[in-house]
Amino acid sequence: MVMDATKAGAGDYLLERMGPANVFVRGVSHVLKPGKQACLAANLRTVIGNSGRVFLAETNFRGNSLAYLDHLGATRQSVPGQLQRALKNLPRPGHFGARERHRIFTAPPGS
């Protein structure tokens, strides 16, 4: 099931279908803006009802991106294998130069 867990009514929807549930949430709140974090929390509160629990695992890293790589074990000499694999899947800058520009913006007829 795919849904926006911050949307109003998402908690009621899940509660209705699954009854009070235990919920494991990992690494979602830190990517949300504060208002959306509160919406997620309200939906979680609804889903657990009177008997469920929330197990929240979050990121709380305060440094910059380079400090984070350092924290994950990268040095100037080596990058741990798991981190290398994760980095390989990050979006990379592509190529859009003169050749590509000429390819899609063709000269008007007669010019």
Q: Report the residue number, 61 or 96, with the smaller CB distance to ligand SAM.
A: 61
Question: Does residue number 9 form part of the binding site for ligand SAM (CB under 6 A)?
Answer: no
We find the least distance from the C-beta atom of residue 55 to ligand SAM, in angstroms, to be 12
Q: What is the DSSP string of 74-90?
A: --SS---HHHHHHHHTS
Per CB under 6 A, 5 contacts ligand SAM: yes
17 contacts: CB under 8 Å, gap ≥ 6: none
Interface with ligand SAM, residue 26, by CB under 6 A: yes
Helices (H), the chain: 10-18, 34-48, 65-71, 81-88, 98-104
Report the residue number, 4 or 100, with the smaller CB distance to ligand SAM: 4
Burial class of residue 78 in the structure, from the number of CB atoms within 10 Å of its CB (0-12 exposed, 13-18 middle, 19+ buried): exposed
Q: Is 28 among the residues that bind ligand SAM (CB under 6 A)?
A: yes
Residues 30-69 binding ligand SAM (CB under 6 A) are 31-32
Binding site for ligand SAM (CB under 6 A): 4-6, 26-28, 31-32
